[in-house]
Amino acid sequence: MCGIVAYIGKRQASPILLDGLRRLEYRGYDSAGIALWTDGGIDVYRKAGRIENLRKAVSEANPPGDLGISHTRWATHGAPTDENAHPHKDQSGNLALVHNGVIENYISIKDQLLAEGHTFQSETDTEVLAHLVGKCYDEGEETEPQAKLVAAVQAALPRVKGTFGIAVIHSDAPGVIVGSRLGSPLVVGLGKDEHFLASDVGAIVAHTRDVIYLNDYDLVTITRHGYDVSSLDTNRTASVKVSRVDFTEDDAEKGKFEHYMLKEIYEQPQSIRNALRGRLSRDEATAVLGGLNMSPMELRQIDRIIFSGCGTAYHAAMVGEYLMESLARIPTEIEFASEFRYRNVPTTKSTLQFVVSQSGETIDTLAALREAKRKGLRCLGIVNNVASTIARESDGGVYIHAGPEIGVAATKTFTSQVTIMTLLSLLFGRIHHLSSTDGLEMIDELEAIPEKIESILKQAPRIKEIAQKYANAEGMLFMGRQLNYPVAMEGALKMKEISYIYASGHPSAELKHGIIALVKPDLPSVFIAPDDAVFDKNVSNIEEVKARKGPVIAVTTEGCTDLERIADDVLYVPPCKSILSPLLTVVPLQLLSYYVALARGCDVDKPRNLAKSVTVE
């Protein structure tokens, strides 16, 4: 949530910062701003609304300056206005700061500063932090400005409670930017005679692929010619490792697609192939997942599994529960990460916990990981972002290798997470009950999935027509049974978040227990009813909706024509082993929500009130 980009070098800073912010806009998009060091001091430009508003204002002024910090905001404290946009200045007006995260004790610090005569222009916690660092600077020992700025940051941060990723500049120190992090990601970009700070490598990958992912409590200074990483905590030494980013600027672009979401839906055949690559052993009829860092003996002792995550990752975990219980017969539980951290979930000595997260930065999921580790559980990650905090803090895990996901609505990462859950279930299954013949059959079926998704994507024009027909619906119900119940939940979430149509997902059989009261002619129901063991049960539920004049869109299996006569619209997915059907049935639902949102004129990639990575509680 919120994005930071900072630049120091020999080029004009403002175009680099604006381009970086554009690439980080998915992290928050209700206001944005930049601060540039110029001869006369620090100039700040801030605008409520999309980055485009800021770009227009800055481009008109075309400010010089080869040092600057910038920010795109997702409001926590204070409405999205020009005044609340970052960067914020201190009392003297000489220091500017951008911040991701939340300062929990900002009210008490603000009261103290008010009593000392400080005045504030915004309602934000960040302005309070800027004033605190500025005060530490003004009261600091007389030394050269660069060292004084570092000392001020070092003195101020231990006084705050909460989370932060920050970048700070001072008008007296024209050659340095100071940054630090605790709980909010920050990465240093290393260029030739130029350096960067950013919340996400995507913002700077156009300029450099050599980066240092900072750890909590790191304190960094970047200058034109170098960088220095030290620690806020004097009892700890900072460890510095230069990494090479494994994707390019083009991977994070929309290319020929109108929206990132559509591009990412179409990437699914490839992202699933990436998730499977090198992880299937035909000889052993199992999955090979070295990143778990566990021997077959240790794996065999696992008697309970907990999956936790939020939103789409939680839905993928729900599919994982079904997979693990059917293939491996291991009792499996799923928990919203936000609940797990506050519950006292009973565990056994051999419980294994997985945290599932695309970004690897979701604060609730990170907290669930830390709680599990505190309890002494082995906790593994199923993560996309390889440099993320969850990836680094977990005891091992499996990367989903889906590539950058920029659209705020998760799509390809859902299918990649489910693919990984299938591999895990196959691995555990083969350790316990699954025969090699069944293992090989799973491998064959899994390998066929990408091509089957390609054939579903060809139905996009038909799905678009259906979407236009239902675009004005006042609400939608999504229904499925067994593994397609989580798909119903996921379909409803996609519909809500990008088209703002209220939608809810349910097990089909729950219809009669209350939900059917909602059924009426302008409330369509989407049934996920592949040709499996519970198909007939789903048909009965569809009949119940039709009997009450509710329109029905059904997703079923090619060759199964029974629904043509009952449902209003039918979408088909290729046949597959029923346990793998979520990997196929979710795709038409993703396209349906995309085209409904498009027909309603919604901003598909940047839905209102949302941000891609939720780093506040």
Is 113 or 262 the residue whose CB approaches ligand F6R more closely? Answer: 262
Contact pick of 65, 179, 183, 311 for ligand F6R (by CB under 6 A): 311
Cis status, amide bond into 63, omega within 30 of 0: no
Burial of 568 (0-12, 13-18, 19+ CB in 10 A): middle
> Per-residue contact track with ligand F6R, 46 to 85, x per CB under 6 A?
----------------------------------------
Tell me the longest C-alpha to C-alpha distance in the chain: 84
Choosing from 18, 67, 187, 310, the residue that interacts with ligand F6R (CB under 6 A) is 310
Cβ–Cβ under 8 Å, residues 223 and 204: no
Site track for ligand F6R across 539-578, x = CB under 6 A: ----------------------------------------
Total residues at the site for ligand F6R (CB under 6 A)?
15
C-alpha span between 616 and 605 (Å, rounded): 21
Query: Among 163, 312, 415, 425, which residue sits at the site for ligand F6R (rule: CB under 6 A)?
Result: 312
Rule CB under 6 A: is residue 365 a binding residue for ligand F6R?
A: yes
- Judged by CB, which is closer to ligand F6R: 446, or 614? 614
CB of 359 to ligand F6R, least distance (A): 3
User: Which residues, listed in sequence order, are joined to residue 31 by a DSSP beta bridge?
Assistant: 48, 73
Give the x-and-dash track for 491-520 against ligand F6R (CB under 6 A): --x---x-----------------------
Nearer to ligand F6R, 328 or 410 (CB): 410
141: Cα within 13 Å, side-chain hemisphere: 6
Which residue from 329, 337, 327, 331 is spatially nearest to 358, judged by alpha carbons?
Answer: 337
> 253 — alpha (psi -120 to 50), left (phi > 0) or beta?
beta
Rounded Cα distance, 333 and 580, in Å: 19
CA distances from 456 to 282, 380, 451 (A): 27, 33, 9
Distance CA 2, CA 15 (A): 19
Q: Can you name the residues that pair with 4 across neighbouring β-strands?
A: 71
Compute the least distance from the CB of residue 37 to ligand F6R, in Å: 34
557 and 531 in contact (C-beta within 8 Å)?
Answer: yes
| Interface region with ligand F6R, contact rule CB under 6 A, candidates 184-192, 228-236, 353-361, 575-583 | 353-361
Give the separation between CA 320 and CA 306, rounded to whole angstroms. 10
**Binding of residue 489 to ligand F6R (CB under 6 A):** no
Nearest residue (CB) to ligand F6R, 542 versus 586 = 586
Q: How far is the CB of 483 from ligand F6R (least distance, A)?
A: 19
Of 195-203, 307-315, 325-333, 396-404, which part binds ligand F6R (CB under 6 A)?
A: 307-315
> Where does this chain touch ligand F6R (CB under 6 A) — which range of 148-156, 236-244, 356-364, 583-591?
356-364
Which tokens in the block code for residue 458?
A: 């060809």
Residues 121 and 110 sit within 8 Å (Cβ to Cβ): no
Least distance between ligand F6R and beta carbon 140 (Å): 39
Q: Which stretch binds ligand F6R (CB under 6 A): 49-57, 309-317, 392-400, 504-512?
A: 309-317
Q: Does residue 359 touch ligand F6R according to CB under 6 A? A: yes
Cβ atoms of 207 and 194 closer than 8 Å: yes
φ, ψ at 360 (rounded to 5°): 75, 10
Residue in 35, 26, 27 with CA at minimum distance from that of residue 7: 35
Active site (annotated) includes residue 560: no
Q: Which residue stretch of 4-12, 241-249, 355-363, 509-517 sits at the interface with ligand F6R (rule: CB under 6 A)? A: 355-363
Minimum CB separation of residue 413 from ligand F6R in Å reads: 7
User: What sections of 432-534 are H helices per DSSP?
Assistant: 436-457, 460-470, 484-499
Neighbour count for residue 249 (Cβ, 10 Å): 15
Positions of E strands within 202-273? 210-213, 218-222, 227-231, 242-244
Scan for tokens 């989407």, then name that residue.
Answer: 526
Q: Are 131 and 158 in contact (CB under 8 A)?
A: no
- Measured distance CA(275)–CA(263) in Å, rounded: 18
Query: Least distance in Å: CB of 163 to ligand F6R?
Result: 16
Catalytic residue check, 2:
yes
Ordered DSSP codes for 156-210:
HGGG--B-EEEEEEETT-TT-EEEEEEBS--EEEE-SS-EEEESSGGGTTTT-SE
Which residues are bridge partners to 213 per DSSP? 187
Q: Which of 362, 419, 585, 615 binds ligand F6R (CB under 6 A)?
A: 362
- Minimum CB distance to ligand F6R, residue 362 (Å): 3
Using rule CB under 6 A, residue 357 touches ligand F6R: yes
* 5-13, 38-46, 268-276, 310-318 -> range binding ligand F6R (CB under 6 A): 310-318
Residue 419 sits in the site that holds ligand F6R (CB under 6 A): no
Stretch that binds ligand F6R, among 125-133, 306-314, 439-447, 466-474 (CB under 6 A): 306-314
| DSSP string covering 565-601 | GTSSEEEEE----GGGTHHHHHHHHHHHHHHHHHHTT
Give the 3-state secondary structure of residue 152: helix
Shortest gap between Cβ of 29 and ligand F6R (angstroms)?
15
Tell me the per-residue interface mask from 392 to 411 with ligand F6R, x by CB under 6 A, - otherwise.
-----------------xx-
Q: Residue 303, SS3?
A: coil
356, two tokens: 């599932």
Q: Which of 2, 379, 576, 602 is catalytic?
A: 2
Q: Which residue is closest to ligand F6R by CB?
A: 311
Query: Please, what is the minimum distance in Å from the beta carbon of residue 262 to ligand F6R?
Result: 14
CB 310 within 8 A of CB 362: yes
By beta-carbon proximity to ligand F6R, the closer residue of 327 and 387 is 387
Interface with ligand F6R by CB under 6 A: which range of 31-39, 135-143, 357-365, 469-477? Answer: 357-365
Name 397's bridge partners: 381
Q: 135, 412, 496, 612: which is the annotated catalytic residue?
A: 612
Site string for ligand F6R, 575-614 (x = CB under 6 A): --------------------------------------xx
Nearer to ligand F6R, 286 or 613 (CB): 613
CB of 357 to ligand F6R, least distance (A): 3
Residues belonging to the active site = 2, 612
**Interacting residues toward ligand F6R by CB under 6 A:** 310-313, 357-359, 362, 365, 409-410, 493, 497, 613-614
